[in-house]
Amino acid sequence: MEKSHLDTKDTILPDETGAIVLPPGDPYGIRAVQRAVMVLEQLAKTDDVSITQLAQQVQLHKSTVHRLLVTLEATGMVRQDPAVGRYRLGFKLMELGAAAVRGVELRATAHPHLEGLARATGCTTHLGVMDRGEVVYIDKIEGEGSFRLYSQIGRRAPLHCTGLGKVLTAFLPPAEQKRLTAKPLRRFTRRTIVEPEWLLRHLQQIAREGYAVDDAEHEDLIRCVAAPVRDHTGGVVAAVSVTSVCAELLPADRDRFLGEVLKTTSSISRDLGFDPGPDALGAAERVYGN
């Protein structure tokens, strides 16, 4: 079997300074990206420097460094003090770093709870977040049985016809809900809600009740129950679902799944610092407009 280039002796490793260095002649390396990373790493070590100083430190031509800085500044990765012409790291990196930390913390915190939910229900459980108008699965625990769902960690799914997606959309500000539902909505099954006004009313109901049901709206025979996960601010940061493969989700099964999902999301939310008291709930309602 052909080996990945990362399986060879040229595996990417940090150098003695902690910087990532690609092996010489690496076929997957893009020189401009490598140089941009070098510039960012150097700025992290010696913040507030001139182009001349930075070019000397990274051993690149001054014109090359200037082009890199112009691009990085336009994306918010670096910023320049116009008074003296010196550069430093931009606030966009703080945003990206915070997002990375949140993502790792969320999945690590939720994972054992998802495992417990899968054991309690015998069904596949998912943890999803919203990204660029879609659901992204960031964790999944397979349920009992040989049937395997199409979902995979990192895979995307639509908002308007999945349990996870409907929950995540239901707790957005009304203006954002309208924006997301104004675009043409694809019909996946005969149960898919594609009328914006109907979907908006459905989302309001989900926000009131605190959970969503996907009744074969995305895939035939696939039913799921989902509920929101909140962080320390009371904001909805993710959703958890239980998925069942059946011709019909009986009320008794739905209620059982819902009870287990709500217990799971409550536990995850508490671990993320959410206080379920009236003040926290009121703050969440004010922030999200529900």
pLDDT score, position 236: 96
pLDDT value at residue 95: 74
Q: Which of 168, 218, 212 is nearest to 191 (CA)?
A: 218
Predicted local confidence at residue 277, as pLDDT: 66
CATH superfamily of domain region 96-288: GAF domain (3.30.450.40)
Q: How far, in Å, CA of 18 to CA of 134, rounded?
A: 35
Return the pLDDT at 20.
44
In the chain, domain spans = 7-89, 96-288
What pLDDT does 146 receive? Answer: 45
Q: pLDDT truncated to tens, each residue of the chain (290 aa)?
A: 333 333 333 333 344 444 444 445 555 458 888 899 999 888 888 878 889 998 999 999 999 999 999 999 999 999 988 888 899 888 888 777 766 666 668 999 999 999 999 999 999 999 999 988 999 999 999 887 645 566 678 888 999 999 999 999 999 999 999 999 998 999 999 999 999 999 999 999 999 999 999 999 999 988 999 999 999 889 999 999 999 887 667 788 889 999 999 999 999 999 998 987 654 444 334 333 33
Residue 105: predicted pLDDT: 84
> Contact at 8 Å (CB) between 141 and 178?
no
Q: Do the first three CATH levels of 7-89 and 96-288 match, i.e. the same topology? A: no
Report the distance separating Cα 149 and Cα 222, nearest Å.
9
pLDDT at 101: 60
The reported pLDDT for the residue numbered 289 is: 39
pLDDT at position 83 is 82
Output the pLDDT for position 279.
45
Residue with tokens 């003695």: 16
What is the reported pLDDT for 238?
A: 96
Write down the pLDDT at residue 103. 65
Q: Which fold has domain 7-89?
A: Arc Repressor Mutant, subunit A (1.10.10)
Angstrom distance (rounded) from CA 114 to CA 268: 9
pTM: 0.63
Q: What is the pLDDT of residue 206?
A: 97
pLDDT of residue 16: 42
Cα separation, 233 vs 69, in Å, equals 36
Q: How far apart are CA 152 and CA 137, in angstroms?
A: 7
